[in-house]
Amino acid sequence: MLVLRSTRDLLSWRGSLPRGTEIGFVPTMGALHAGHSSLLSQARAQNDIVVLSIFVNPTQFNQAADFEKYPQTWESDLKVAEAAGVDVVFSPSITTELYPEGYRFEVREKEFSKSLCGAFRPGHFEGVLTVVMKLLNLVQADQAYFGEKDYQQFSLIRDMARDFFIATKIIPCETIREKNGLALSSRNMRLSPEGREKASALYRNLISAISVSDGIRDLQRLGFEVEYFEEKQGRRFVAAWIEGVRLIDNVVAPVFVEKSHETQGEVTL
């Protein structure tokens, strides 16, 4: 497994590949878990070469404290990458490898990025889209893989790639969950065992709450500070805080059916 620490080395390696080599790319911020492994496994199955990037991107954190708390687990990340059959790890040694001009230029989306997470994290998606465009341009992969747990992020990256005519195909991958339903996330490391169990209520409410207002009320009763619980684009999204940790999740919007006493038919709510 090759570890590259500069954009120069990455570009040199990329230029050495035979024409027609299929490349799968998984961009991450490290702290790898089984969810990342699933992305890498799909990339491994569908490509000749698998590239993993590990870079904690400072421009997508709207709170400096959150950036400083982000877990960095380099040695275990390399073990996960090796076990998944990664060929190349690109992990810039300094921030200026990806931001040689500082944060002078950014990519901005003016619609969907302003809702959900974007409404509560100003500048977040500008940072995400900017760094992902840089990485896509550097790696020039045939496919790049993103988890559906961050569905808003996946949707924005997919649309950005299409709108800017980037050749890389953006592939969605199913959310991987713990046995209790909690979506795997690097942030879960900061929860106590009790907090992890309580956090499973996010998923249960997403799939079972009859209405958005019911979902919000039920989570608040359990002690969550709810940022949003909304339905958009045929999906149901939630972001909430527990034990000082912000968690997000989403599912395809459920359809509930009940009997109408007047018509004895089925009414979709």
Q: pLDDT tens digits for 54-72? A: 999 999 998 888 898 888 9
Q: Which of 139, 173, 207 is the last residue of a domain?
A: 173
Strand partners, 53: 27, 90
Give yes or no: residues 130 and 232 share one domain. Answer: no
Dihedral, 110, 111, 113, 119 alpha carbons, nearest 10: 100
Residue 199's SS3 state is helix
Tokens standing for 163?
């709108």
% of the chain exceeding 90 in pLDDT: 91
Give yes or no: residues 97 and 200 share one domain. Answer: no
Give yes or no: residues 142 and 222 share one domain. Answer: no
Give yes or no: residues 141 and 206 share one domain. Answer: no
**Domains held by the chain: number:** 2
Give yes or no: residues 27 and 53 share one domain. Answer: yes
User: Is 267 contained in some domain?
Assistant: no
Phi then psi dihedrals of residue 10, to 5 deg: -65, -45
What pLDDT sits at residue 65?
Answer: 83
* CATH code of the domain containing 75: 3.40.50.620
Q: pLDDT tens digits for 21-67? A: 999 999 999 999 999 999 999 999 999 999 999 999 999 998 888 89
Give yes or no: residues 158 and 112 share one domain. Answer: yes
Q: pLDDT tens digits for 123-147? A: 999 999 999 999 999 999 999 999 9
Give yes or no: residues 90 and 145 share one domain. Answer: yes
The pLDDT of residue 265 is above 60: no
User: Which residue range forms the structural domain that includes residue 211?
Assistant: 186-251
What pLDDT sits at residue 63?
Answer: 84
Annotated catalytic residues are 36
Q: Which of 173, 195, 230 is the last residue of a domain?
A: 173
The pLDDT of residue 225 is above 70: yes
